[in-house]
Amino acid sequence: MRLHIGTDHAGFELKNHLVEHLRSEGHDVVDHGAHVYDALDDYPAFCISAAEAVIAEPGSLGIVIGGSGNGEQLAANRVPGIRAILAWSVETAKLGRQHNDANVISVGGRMHTVEESTAIIDAFLAEPFSGDERHQRRIDQMLAYEAQRDAR
Ligand SMILES: O=C(CO)[C@H](O)[C@H](O)COP(=O)(O)O
């Protein structure tokens, strides 16, 4: 699967681990940075770059990493068409795909061990959207709101 990943300094080591791990699993991973460790860097540009690439490549998924994952989720969700979830367990990661058809996962690298974060992301990538009518209906309600808002 084509994957786009981005992080600030807080997720730098985890991101490098994930790039290696995910490539070893056969994924085609594009690294949107940070490419060097800088304790003063800012997460929005890395996350927005990864999220824009997800929209540009239908069928791809995004991974954004930070200390908490909160700001990274917020940044990714600024990109039209992105549904980014903040996953904090294997179950919330799976539900993000099953119920929300999320196309970006955000993880707080400071909140978990590397093994836990890796398991959360692996679970997200392996899970399909259920396609259940009630879940699609709720997604469509959000899309309808956005369309109405943008037409104002
Ligand atoms: O999780 C994050 C945003 O939600 C950032 O990674 C976090 O805020 C970075 O913190 P600091 O600059 O103190 O290392």
* CATH number for 143: 3.40.1400.10
> What is the model's pLDDT at position 113?
98
Domain count, the chain: 1
pTM of the model: 0.98
pLDDT per residue as tens digits for the range 46-103: 999 999 999 999 999 999 999 999 999 999 999 999 999 999 999 999 999 999 999 9
pLDDT category of residue 7 using cuts at 50, 70 and 90: very high
The reported pLDDT for the residue numbered 60 is 98
Q: Give the per-residue pLDDT at 63.
A: 99
Atom 3 in ligand 1: which residue has the minimum CA distance? 71
pLDDT at position 82, please? 98
How distant, in Å, are the alpha carbons of 14, 123, 138 from that of 20? 10, 17, 36
**Closest atom of ligand 1 relative to the 39 alpha carbon:** 14
User: Mean pLDDT across the chain, nearest whole number?
Assistant: 98
**Residue 44, ligand 1, Cβ within 6 A:** no
Under the phi-then-psi rule, with left for phi > 0, alpha for psi from -120 to 50, and beta for the rest, what region is 87? beta
The alpha carbon of 104 and the centre of ligand 1 are apart by a number of angstroms equal to 19
Task: Return d(Cα 147, Cα 77) in angstroms, integer.
Answer: 16
Range of the domain at 109: 2-151
The rounded percent of the chain whose pLDDT value lies above 90 is: 100
